[in-house]
Structure 1
Amino acid sequence: LTTRPRQSAKRYAQIWTPEGSPLRLHTERQAKLLLGTLGGRIRPAPAVEYAMRYGHPSIIRALGQLKAQGCDRVLVLPLYPQYSASTTASAFDAVFAA
């Protein structure tokens, strides 16, 4: 590839923040808000971890952290805006495989 990587790099530079990837930042904020909301309503307070289907933090890492915290039930919430076998279903497949 000769053209696409340069074009993609320019586009990423336009949306990247000093804190990093906007996708990761917004996902992290959603996880913190969810923990805050559920933590005030559920006892004992639940654990909330987020993971990326492709990238970091990985699904295996997040599941490992939940296991280390003693979680024996996991609710998975893919954050894709609609169901698709290539997105939502593949995320569930990755969780089940892990």
Structure 2
Amino acid sequence: MNEKITGFSIVDLKGNNIWALFVDPDFEKMGIGKKLPDIMLDWYFKQTQENVWLGTSPNTRAEMFYRKTEWNEIGMHGKNEIKFEMTFDNWTNKK
């Protein structure tokens, strides 16, 4: 069998933040980029109801994705990254 990792995500329960969310470019536009965060956030909010945040560079596809999927911009983080947040209430109301 020829298996390949097509995407992955890492969320930190102690820091309440998402460290990574990546999809292999060979598998873009197949719905993985929408499904992966859904699975991750479902798991996260089963563990805690604390807000979760992430940072991403401005003017990127990632920024557009988080805006379209109803993450809230809450400021800046790190080296000029936009900080986005998802609340338990916003997540459960999307479902």
After TM superposition, the score normalised by the length of structure 1 is 0.38
Q: Which has the higher contact order (CA 8 A, sep 6+)?
A: 2
Query: Which one has the largest radius of gyration?
Result: 1
TM-score, normalised to structure 2's length? 0.39
